[in-house]
Each structure stands twice: as C-alpha cells, then as structure tokens.
Amino acid sequence: MMLLLTGLLGAPSTGNPACPCIDIWASKYALVLNGNAPADDATAGCDMRSSIDGACFSADYGASACAAHDKDTAECSEGSPPDWCSSTWCYVDIRTCDRPTTTSSYFDEVQIMTATTGSGDDSCPESTNLTFSYQTCGGLDAYSASISGSALHLQKYATSRPNGRLRVSFPGDSASSYTLVGLKAYPDGSAKVPINGGIGGTNRSGSVIAFMANLMDQAGVLWQEVPISDDSYAYSTSSSFTACVHEVAIGNTDMCWANFWPTVERMVLTQFTTSMYGDDFFLIVRAGKEDTTLLDTIGQPFEPFSLDLWIAIVAVFGIVGVLAALDNKPEEESAWDFFLRLPFAYFDGVNAYNSGGLEGEKRTSGSWVINIFVGFTVMVLGTGYGAVVTSTLISESATAVSNLDEAIAAGYTFCCNSASVSLLSAAHPQLANLLVPLSLGESLNGVDEGLCNAAILSGDEGRSARLFGEEAHCEGAPDAKVRLPTTVATFPNANPVRPEIAGSISALMMKSLLAGKYEELVTDARLNYTYGECPEADDVSEVEKFALHELGGPLLFMLVVSILSFASTRCGRAMHRRANKVKARRPPVASHRDAPKSDETVPDGSTTVAVATAASTHVVTADLGIKLEVDAAPAWPVSTSSGTELHDQVERLQATLLKRLEEVEKSVLLHRIGRTKVRRSVKRSASGAVNVGHDDGFGADEN
C-alpha cells in the first residue's frame, strides 16, 4: 500500500518497509571502496568505478530510492536495450531486509561497515558486500537472469575459486557413446580421445562437454578439471555419475559435466541446471513370436471382433430373421406351423451376415426395409472386419508383446540401468518389483542370460549396443532385439551444480539450447565417436505374400464347418431314404372297379402296373339329383419291358385320363344347361304364356 501511495503522489519509493532502500554514502555505513575507488584524476561525478570495465558511476547510483538506475548506462543506451534496463531497484542492508537480494558484481570489492562487535580495544567492525534488491521495489531480478548478468555473476564466482577458475569434474563415459567419451577405447584398442587432446586440454570429449565449454568461453569464465575424490566413490560404488553429484554436494567441485538423470537421490544432494535434452526410454524385447497352437489358429477368424460383439451379431441377426419371417407370414398359415418354422427363420437371419441379405420372398414393404438395413449393417461390419484383418496381415507384430502393459500382464521382468530404477518406478509404480538393476551396458546381455524377459533402456543406450560392428542384438542375429515404438517414459538430462551459480548457468544454457547449439554438437559427436551401427530389427514384419500359416485359420475353420454340414446332410438323406422304404412296403389301396385281378396277366409276360388315385372322383349334380361316379385314374396294364416304353406308356395314360375328365366335365355342363331350360318352360306354362317350341337339341325326354 505504501508503494502504491508513493507512486500516486509522485514521490520516489524507498522500497518495502521490510527491506528499505539505503544510502550507502551515509556516515553510519562507513563505505570502503577498495578497488572500486575512482582514480585520482577522475572527473567530477565519478564516485565509484565498475569492476567490469572501469566505468564511472555517481554517488546516487542505486542509493536511497527505487529507480531504473541502469537506464543511462552504456549497455542500456544501445538501440535495443535489455528488459532489465527499465526495472527499478536499490541497495539494501541485508541485516534489515527479508526480501531476495543479490550481491553486486559491478562493485564486488566495496564493503559496508554495518556494525561493531565488542568494546574498547576488542571492538571489531563487521562489513558486508554491496547488496541490491529488485524485489523490494515490487519487481523481479531480471538482470541476474539475463545473459550479461549471469555471465558477470559466474565470472565473479569463478575468480573466487582456487586458481580463479570454475572447478569441473567428469564421471565415467556415458552409455550413449557420444555425450561423454575418453575413458573407454574403441573395440580395436585405439583411444577415442588422445591424451591431453580433449576439450580444454583434458582427456575427455563429447557433445555435453563441448556444449558446456562453449558456454564458459562465451561468458568469459575460466575452468579446470578436478578429479572425483575417493570419498565420493565410496558413497556410490555402483555409479560414477552419482559419485560426481556427491562431489558437488560436499563442495570439492562446482559442477559435473555429463548427461545426468536428476533422480530423487541425486536431487537431495544438490541442485541441477536446466535440462539439455530428454531421454526417451523404450521397451526392448526379443524378436520373434511364440509358437501358436492349433486352437489359436482356428480362432484367428474371430480375432477381429470381441466376444461380446460376436454374441451381439448372432443374437441381433437372428432376431431380425424372425421378425422378417413374421412380417412375411401368410394369413392361411397356422400359428403352429409358423412356430415350427421359427428356428429356420432365426438361422436365416444369422446367415444374412454372410450372404449380405435375408433369403426368401419379400411379401411386404416392411420386409424390404428390413432387408435393406440388414445389407447396410453387413456392409459396415464387413468393412470393419476387413480393415482389422488387412492391418493385422500387412503390419503383423513381430514380437510376443507389443507394449509395456502386455509385458507386465504376461509376467515379464525387466533389466535396466541401476541409475534409472527410481525414475522408472516413479513413472510406473507397477514396475517396482519387476525391475532387475544392472550396470551400464549390461541390460541386453541380461536378457540373453535369462536374468529378465526384456529390457527398458534409453534410446541412446539401446543404440549403443549396436555400434562398432557388434551384431549380437541386431537384425538377423539369433538374439536379435526389437525396440517397441511406444515410449515408456521420458527423463531430462541436466548437470549437478553448486546452488550459488545454478541460476546463472541455467540462463546461459537456455539461450544456447533455444538457438539449437546442442543439436549441432550431437551430430558432430556421433560422426566423430561412433561407427559401425548395425540395423535394428523391426517391430513389425512386412507380409509380401499371404502364406498358409497366415490364412490357415479361416481355411481350417471353413473346412471343419463344411465337413460337419456334409455329414449332417448325408444323415438326413439316409433317414429320408429309410422312410421311403418303409412307405413302399405298405399295400396299395385298390379303389377302381376296372383294376385287373391279381391272377390276370398281361400278354407277352409284361408286369402289370396299377396307376390310380386313392379314391374315385364323385361329381354330384344336386339340382337334378343325379350322381355321376367317374373314375379319376383307372388302372391300366402297362408293359415295362424297357424304361423308354414305360415312360411313353405313362404319358399315353395321362393323356387318356385328361380326356376322360374333360368328357365328365362336359357331361355335367350339358346336364346343367338342360335343367335350366326345363325350369323356364315350367314357369311359362304356369303363367299362361304360350309355350313356344324350340329346337335346341334337347327334348323333354332327353332332359
């Protein structure tokens, strides 16, 4: 509120009451300039000189009030001044300030006498370095986070170290074979880095060291290598990287340069810089699939759809078949007959999934609509089925599992770098009891030795196993490995650093990272320190031609169903023939008075065949009271001396029967016509009308 009121009134702010601005020239501070004192011949207004370039500053610079004290400096007078040039700040007394402060790098030798301890001859004045704060003025320290501010701060820190240089330590060679190299030789025994021929006169090189060394050169900071102490190696006997972090924590070195994973154990020891890049971890498994059983082969045609979908298809298509049959049910069909037809209607509906539509006649518009939607549904389902089958055959998995979840469900254990155990367990808690920690570069060998079923490694470590002509894990090898495409986890790579310079180092790193400087160095390092990379086995197998084992499942299933259908048909026909034989043994019903007696014979010794209906046809003319009894099919002796003669005789018999029936119909018709005329004549006589004779061919006697 005080800052707001003073701003509204136009008076300069003196900072937050919890951290007020001070006048460093006041007598109570007994300012000692030391090396920042102006020269004897300095011009007026030159009260202090910068430790950086010797530039002069007046006594009101940073004193007494919040202001943009840097706006008139040489760096802020250029065409595009940095953001911090307009930020307000002031000098503060660290004894009376509870806001963030920063020690001045411009005037690093200035001392402020802040107190006196003791009394008399034992009195001893206390002093502090010149300190400023942006936060007391309501802003952030944009200067310290800037490149120039970070470089200046880092320079001052380095000069305060032994020999005036930043101390840097290196762990062992990295698993990537290019980020940090120099200790391990090539497989042929030649050194990757000549003695004292590495970066900065060391025996080490690689993309990370080159990147950090370039930053130090740009910031004007000198550095030197210091070895990791025995105490740190004793702290971490399994990882030189963790040992180097410990070295930073105990203050024996200022930084470690390499690709470190900031694990929980390491972050407890010290701070880390911003991440240089991310390491993607992958699941690496053996190439090849497990042998499939006959049951698996038969079940392949059903794999594109889940079990519940197959059940739904059978149920829904069957119900639709019943509905269509009900819609087409003839009116004269009894309920019992339709009930007997229901199973066939159900299976006709199920069969529609294969045939693309319902069989049978469509009697109503509703049945046509049902059939249209059945066809559309079959098309959609068939398209999905075909898409799954096609993608499965063309891009078939070349491994027993295709992702981490499947591997865990299959009971796999996983070899990994011992340093990554905590990171992987944090990313996937279900892996906590399934990880087998091994030393650097031994995880894939652990798979071959049966220590685990698969490995979880960073992309760089997995690639390193296929370098320098090593083919044990490459495509075509008996122990070929496949890196599955799904990323298991991603972890940052950073450098452990002393807290005092963590912000400055990170600011310098971020600028170069955004400019793509590290990627350029990675390309160079891979060309310089790696070779002989063998091809990695693919995670999918390309199917150039569909082999028998790929389509054997559908064929085998079709064969089994065909055999069962054939057997069922044969059984049905056998039962039908047996029924006909039983029927043939029954004696024929003799219903014709002209049928030949059993003792009659046909000339020439031919067999007599009786062709007759079960009963005679009775035509009743109710009007005349006359009953005409006509044989529908009299028995006739037929000679069966040959098949052809029998066929001809049957045709003649049929023609004779038709002629006899026509004569009967004609006779009945003539009787009806005559009866009608008789009735007309009787009516006319009764009414007194003249009975006029007519010659119609039918007389009264004839009627």
* Pairing of the two strands 90-91 and 131-133: antiparallel
User: Which secondary structure element, helix H or strand E, spans residue 229, and what is its range?
Assistant: none
Q: How many helices (H) and strands (E) does the chain have?
A: 19, 21
Quickly list DSSP for 58-123: -TTTT-SS-B-TTTTSTGGGSSS--GGGG--BEEB-GGG--S--EE-STTTT-EEEEEEES-GGG-
CA distance 14 to 2: 9
- Taking the C-alpha atoms of residue 487 and residue 459, their distance in angstroms, rounded to an integer, is 10
Terminal-to-terminal C-alpha distance of the chain: 138
Taking Cα atoms as reference points, which of 407, 419, 495 lies closest to residue 453?
407
Q: Which of 662, 663, 657, 699 is nearest to 678 (CA)?
A: 699
Would you state the pLDDT for residue 226? 97
Q: How far apart are CA 637 and CA 597, in angstroms?
A: 11
DSSP state of 181: B
For residue 441, give the nearest of 423, 417, 419 by alpha carbon. Answer: 417
Are the C-beta atoms of 102 and 144 separated by less than 8 Å? Answer: yes
| Bridge partners, residue 129, by sequence | 111
Q: How far apart are CA 209 and CA 226, in angstroms?
A: 14
CB 662 within 8 A of CB 630: no
Is residue 169 within 8 Å of 253, Cβ to Cβ?
yes
Decide: pTM greater than 0.75: no
**410 φ, ψ to 5°?**
-85, 0
Sign (positive/negative) of CA torsion 560, 563, 566, 567? negative
Average pLDDT of each block of 10 consecutive residues along the chain (703 residues)?
A: 44 88 88 83 82 85 93 85 91 91 85 63 68 93 83 88 94 94 91 92 96 95 96 94 97 97 94 95 83 69 79 84 79 82 84 77 68 78 75 60 91 94 94 93 92 94 86 84 92 96 92 93 94 76 46 53 61 78 67 46 43 41 42 46 62 77 74 61 49 41 36
Token pair for residue 692?
């006029």
Query: Where do runs of H (alpha helix) occur along 540-642?
Result: 548-584
Partners of residue 618 on adjacent β-strands? 629
Cβ(265)–Cβ(242) below 8 Å? yes
Contact 118, 124 (CB under 8 A): yes
- Rounded CA gap, 38 and 49, in Å? 6
Question: In CATH, what is the architecture of 146-276+494-544?
Answer: 3-Layer(aba) Sandwich (3.40)
Q: What angle do CA 357, 362, 366 make, to 5 degrees?
A: 90
Residue 483 and residue 462 in contact, taking contact as beta carbons nearer than 8 Å: yes
Residue with tokens 């059978």: 314
pLDDT at 546: 44
Q: Tell me phi and psi for residue 392, to 5 degrees.
A: -70, -40
Q: Residue 181: what pLDDT?
A: 96
What is the reported pLDDT for 501?
Answer: 92
Compute CA 560 distance to the chain's CA centroid, rounded to the nearest angstrom: 36
Q: CA 32, 34, 38: angle at the middle one, nearest 5?
A: 100
Question: Token pair for residue 193?
Answer: 């880095």
DSSP line for 615-678 = S-EEEEETTTTEEEEE-SS-------SSHHHHHHHHHHHHHHHHHHHHHHHHHHHHHHHHHHHH
Q: Domain coordinates of the chain in residue numbers?
A: 2-143, 146-276+494-544, 279-289+398-492, 296-397, 607-686
Question: Residue 487 — φ and ψ, nearest 5°?
Answer: -75, 125
Residue 539 has what pLDDT? 57
CB burial readout 666-703, b (16+ within 10 A) else e: eebeebeebeeeeeebeeeeeeeeeeeeeeeeeeeeee
User: What backbone torsions phi and psi does residue 425 show, to the nearest 5 degrees?
Assistant: -65, -35
Q: At what angle do helices 365-394 and 307-327 cross, to 10 degrees?
A: 160
Torsion angles phi and psi, residue 125, rounded to 5: -70, 145
CATH superfamily label, 279-289+398-492: Periplasmic binding protein-like II (3.40.190.10)
